[in-house]
Amino acid sequence: MPEIWEHLEKIDDYRWRLPKGAKPGMRVDGIIYADEKLLSDIRKDKALDQVANVAFLPGIVNASLAMPDIHWGFGFPIGGVAATDVENDGVISPGGVGYDINCGVRLVRTSLRYEEIKDKIEELAIKLFNFVPSGLGSKGEIRASEKEEKQIMLKGSGWAVSKGYGTAEDLEATEENGAIAGADPDAVSERAYERGKAQSGTLGSGNHFLEVQVIDQVYDADTADAFGLEEGQVTLMIHSGSRGFGYQICDDYVKSMLSCPGKYGISVPDRQLACAPVNSPEAKRYLGAMRSAANYAWNNRQCLMHLARQAFEKVFNMSWQKMGMDLIYDVAHNIAKLERHKVHGQEKLLCVHRKGATRAFPPGHPELPLKYQKTGQPVIIPGDMGRNSYLLVGTEKAAETFYSTCHGAGRVKSRTAAAKAFDANKIISELRAKGIYVMASSRGTIVEEAPLAYKDINEVVNVVQGAGISKKVCRMRPIGVVKG
């Protein structure tokens, strides 16, 4: 069989088609969002093969989609989006959500200006590191009883707010108001309970972070103004997920679904794409457990924001309210959701898998809170710790991706390759020279998360802007970073 890359066709400067004949058994085309330069990075692993494999899923509609931050993952590529028709044999696959269920990001504004705080950035980074537990297996002081653990799965970040770790306004600025309906704590294993019981309010390891940033460029002044943002303003970004709790749930259901393709007569080219019809008992249990993990993750980020607000209060000796530390938005990256979308002009109930992809609803979408009806949904795209991050908004054009866009820069080097290629001391000194103070739980994390281990976020965001599936509002550069 010819190499799959030989089948790729250019649609325009930002889109490429992999025809469904590229692999016998594909039900739909693959569509890859990238420019020529990013396409050369995508060639370095087998992500395109995974785009083709996802196109085998029963009930898949329109196309198997890949965002410009795409890279090789478990089952689905990271940066993959696929929607299946629930009422016409559509399936759900744990590999289409991933191990870090509802890994996501939130952006917090402040009323602080860079010029006012530049002499306290190192102190702030140290205080954040001391206040927020980070690293592999980290445990926090925010503890919940067994009964309360189930409440976290049902209430999500509402549990944290009920304990005084935030406000009702925080919930209004969170996807699903911080708790997706349909969570089923009884579908969660004892092992997952055990792993999650002491991890609320913990950052975790790998690419999770807290980042103090400053807005260095505004692209859409009207929208930025609606969000209360302007150049020179300090912001805080929080990136974490469901920790060991979500990892265990994914692991449990990947294993339990291995028998489902045979049971339901499903043929997929990769066992990591094990799946079940959305309306089957197996899928319903997975959905209940996955939603429990999603709610756990929203609660975790709410707790992390509470701890970060406390750190800011200690450093600047004023309340977080006085510093204007309001949540702009919190959005999930790894999740599958039942949503209504138009397919060939007809509204359908779809199971939308977003694996390393961000929801991007347009202005006027009924699921958006009132304050974002005119602007569209805030879309938060973090970059690496040495370059930039972005705030964008959703667009109507994103209907072609089931209102989805990229979720970050995307790796170009594996953690193992990065560990061999980079030196922690050199990275730290280079970042300091740029005015970026980094705190991490291990030097290994610093090399694994080296800026050059990632694609250039500026190039990635230019593709989604150019394709019209999201619109740039402003850009932030890091000044203080806490890494897991």
The Cα 435–Cα 239 span in angstroms is 21
The Cα 359–Cα 363 span in angstroms is 13
The Cα 31–Cα 341 span in angstroms is 18
Which of 131, 57, 101, 67 lies closest to 313, judged by CA? 131
Q: Tell me whether residue 365 is one of the annotated catalytic residues.
A: no
The Cα 29–Cα 26 span in angstroms is 7
Question: Could you say which of 71, 306, 333, 407 is catalytic?
Answer: 407
Which of 245, 271, 270 lies closest to 258, judged by CA? 271
- Give Cβ neighbours of residue 416 (< 8 Å, ≥ 6 apart): none
The Cα 56–Cα 63 span in angstroms is 10
Half-sphere exposure of 321 (CA within 13 A, CB side): 3
The Cα 455–Cα 413 span in angstroms is 9
Q: Position 128: which residue type?
A: L
Which of 24, 283, 307, 330 lies closest to 170, judged by CA? 330
430-461 per-residue burial string, b: 16 or more CB within 10 A, e: under 16: ebeeeebbbbbbeeebbbbbbbebbbbbebbb
Residue with tokens 């103090």: 212
Q: Which residues are catalytic?
A: 407
